[in-house]
Amino acid sequence: MNFSDKVLAAAQKIKAFGKKIAAPDLAVVLGSGLAEPFHKLKCFWRLPYAKIPGFHAAGVGGHKGELACVEWRNRRALLFFGRVHYYEGYSMEEVIFPVECMAALNIKAVALLSAVGAVNGQYRPGDVVILQDHINLMGANPLRKAGANKDPMEFLSLNDCYSPRLQRVLARCAQAEKIRAHSGIYLALSGPTYETPAEIKAFRAFGADVVGMSMVPEALGARRRGMEVAGLALVTNLAAGLDSVPPAHKEVLEQAALSGQKVFDLLDRAITEF
């Protein structure tokens, strides 16, 4: 079965599972440790990734590996509880597979969430970052595979990869919720190692504000399919060299548990404008 057929099979499985309710037009991908506040939403159905053709069970702590359809302020939304990562050994094609399914399900907008390390010295754990742009140093691009799949080769403009409209909505809602939020640049690396202090110094010179190991492939895949993309990150730790304590995934999950409600509250206020 080729890639397109796998996407179609997964979309059909999801449609069949939720055929008795209105189709969702919004998706949210939840990053490390950010899921808990979203469980309060009214849920119509849940489906483990392992039961969806082409999906993979999440293998990293803080990623449950489950798809849910919820009611959110009179809208239907798909919540992706976790993601798979390039550093886990998956291909870029596999990493963006859920995004391809979103497109097949006619999703119009997607909010990508993640936990990040702060490169900007003014950022602190618990701050929220509304992505303005990104720097891709992952060493791979998920759209490269399109040629091998016999799709026409395309050179996608990324001038507005992260929707300026949604950036304004989120900034306004953060102010209304009194949430400390920044407009920032996300630098993506392949992982799984954390960065060295020397790398963080270099990244700061590049103009990066935060650093992480996800989001960018999904954003590229979503933009190729015409979706409006919002990127929202929670600072869970200071990057290497900015703190006496080296970064650790346990710290990321602990901070996400403490501050994840802010991310939910911000989206909850903004969701009707997505």
Q: Is 86 a catalytic residue?
A: no
Q: Taking Cα atoms as reference points, which of 35, 34, 64 lies closest to residue 47?
A: 64
pLDDT, tens only, 135-154: 999 999 999 855 555 666 67
Looking at residues 115-131, what average pLDDT do you find? Answer: 95
Nearest-angstrom CA–CA distance, 262 and 266: 6
Give residue 261's pLDDT. Answer: 92
Pick the more confident residue, 64 or 39. 39
> Residue 237 catalytic?
yes
Would residue 32 show up in a list of annotated catalytic residues for this protein? yes
Alpha carbon distance, N-terminus to C-terminus of the chain? 34
For residue 138, indicate whether it is catalytic: no
Whether 39 is catalytic:
no
- Give, in degrees to the nearest 5, the angle at Cα 54 between 56 and 153: 115
With H, G, I as helix, E, B as strand and everything else as coil, classify residue 139.
coil
Total tally of structural domains belonging to the chain: 1
Give the C-alpha separation, 96 to 116, whole Å: 20
189 forms beta bridges with 137
CA-CA distance, 81 to 103, in Å (whole number)?
18
Choice among 114, 120, 163, 214 that is catalytic: 214
The CATH number of the domain holding residue 7 is 3.40.50.1580
The per-residue pLDDT for range 183-219, each reduced to its tens digit, is 999 999 999 999 999 999 999 999 999 999 999 999 9
7: domain range? 3-273
pTM: 0.92
**88 catalytic per annotation:** yes
- Would you give the DSSP letter of residue 150? T
The answer to whether 214 is a known catalytic residue is: yes
In which residue are the tokens 């998706």 written?
27
What angle separates helix 3-17 from helix 97-104, to the nearest 10 degrees?
60
Let me know: does 187 contact 226? Beta carbons within 8 Å. no
* Alpha carbons 20 and 147: distance in angstroms, whole number: 37
CB atoms within 10 A of CB 6: 18
In sign, the C-alpha dihedral spanning 64, 65, 67, 72 is positive
d(CA 42, CA 273): 19
Q: Pick the catalytic residue from 27, 213, 219, 240.
A: 213
Q: Tokens 């489950």, residue?
A: 66
Active site residue 182: no
* Mean local confidence (pLDDT), 10-17: 88
Torsion, Cα of 6, 10, 13, 14 (10° steps) = -160
